[in-house]
Amino acid sequence: MVKHLIDFNDISVERWEKIHKLAVDIKNNPEKYAEECKGKILATLFYEPSTRTMLSFQTAMLRLGGSVIGFDNPSNSSVSKGENLKDTIAIVSSYVDLLVMRHPLEGAAMAASMFSSKPVINAGDGGHLHPTQTLTDLTTIMLEKGKLTGLNIGFCGDLKNGRTVHSLLKAFLRYKGNKFYFISTKKLNIPDYLLEKLKETDNEFVFAETLEECMGDIDVLYMTRIQRERFDSEKEYLKQKGVFILDTEKMEKAKKDLIVLHPLPKVDEIDIEVDDDPRAKYFEQAENGVYVRMALIMTLLSENNEELSYNFSEKRECSNPKCITQTERYLKTVVDEDDREFCKYCNHKLI
């Protein structure tokens, strides 16, 4: 059992199934779990804005009878005085039982886990990964479709910077027989490292430039917003904004049993009228986020977890300017054990 949740695939399929079943039981019988985490403390350290992820984690811990500390704005903490991540994490992990962290840099959660004496949950590291959104997404798909195979799954919007897309696609690489539709502009398409991994599996994929051309085929449509904060300039963002909009006209072309998901917040990519279509499941999806996070907290707090070991390299550096190793300079390079050309923190190429 791995102690932290940094990348969704840290959890085996069997372990995920247990967490999913527990989440469904919590959803149906919440009162049974009201004292499960009595006396335990969760820290939520949010270096980047959040509504659902932070509030759903806090709600989850409170509904389990535990308590919560933390910050939602690093300028209110010693980070604003220049404290490094290592010190913040070492101290907070000596206070609490479990840490949830969101950070704008890629690989930050993995870095935090290396200095934490307690389990760390990645609540989003830059444009990289967001494993607990994936727990939410998979449970919602299971509840709506009853399976994770044999589906036509459309990902639409900012597939380059959308960490929820990266985490969910990585999770789907462990299943067979799905077909993926990447609906995006050339600039915002899915990263090469994920396409390479996808090619090694028994799943088909196609690229599409419009929603119309694949609307009739799709079973699960995963809409995302264009990630304004990840662009180098406002001008670049404006060029990409508003290209894909799901409206009632497009919904008419879709299957009767389509489900529309969105990690939220949505900006302008889903017309507000679509909210009333019974196939729009994104508000249920957000509610499921509380139950899966309750199940995850219980699981991580109840297991005896092993320490991880790392493949360090003194000679190499990461090529990604948004990697945590670029700012927290004391971090040693860690080589990915599956492909030694890649950085373990953020999955970009090493130089």
Q: Are 131 and 167 contacting, i.e. CB atoms less than 8 angstroms apart? A: yes
Scanning 75-185, the segments in alpha helix (DSSP H) are 85-95, 108-114, 131-145, 163-172
Backbone φ and ψ of 290, nearest 5° = -70, -45
Which positions ≥6 away from 2 have C-beta within 8 Å? 10, 11, 305, 306, 308
Q: Are 172 and 203 contacting, i.e. CB atoms less than 8 angstroms apart? A: yes
Taking the complex as a whole, how short is the minimal distance between the CB of residue 156 and ligand NCD, in angstroms?
A: 13
- Joined tokens for residue 319: 């090529």
Question: CA torsion 298→302→304→308, rounded to 10°?
Answer: 10
Considering only residues 264 to 323 of the shown chain, the ones binding ligand NCD according to CB under 6 A are 264
Q: 313 has which bridge partners?
A: 333
Q: Which residue, 53 or 116, has its beta carbon nearer to ligand NCD?
A: 53
Residue 52 as a binder of ligand NCD (CB under 6 A): the answer is yes
Considering only residues 131 to 170 of the shown chain, the ones binding ligand NCD according to CB under 6 A are 133, 163-164
Applying CB under 6 A, which of residues 104, 124, 131, 154 lies at the interface with ligand NCD?
124
Residue 333 as a binder of ligand NCD (CB under 6 A): the answer is no
Residue 53 as a binder of ligand NCD (CB under 6 A): the answer is yes
Taking the complex as a whole, how short is the minimal distance between the CB of residue 227 and ligand NCD, in angstroms?
A: 6
Residue 128 as a binder of ligand NCD (CB under 6 A): the answer is no
Residue 130 as a binder of ligand NCD (CB under 6 A): the answer is yes
Q: What does the chain come to in residues?
A: 351
DSSP, collapsed to helix, strand or coil, labels residue 106 as strand
Considering only residues 254 to 273 of the shown chain, the ones binding ligand NCD according to CB under 6 A are 263-264
Q: Which residue, 112 or 350, has its beta carbon nearer to ligand NCD?
A: 112
Taking the complex as a whole, how short is the minimal distance between the CB of residue 132 and ligand NCD, in angstroms?
A: 8
Applying CB under 6 A, which of residues 128, 166, 225, 344 lies at the interface with ligand NCD?
225
Q: What does the binding site for ligand NCD look like in residue numbers (CB under 6 A)?
A: 52-53, 124, 130, 133, 163-164, 224-225, 263-264
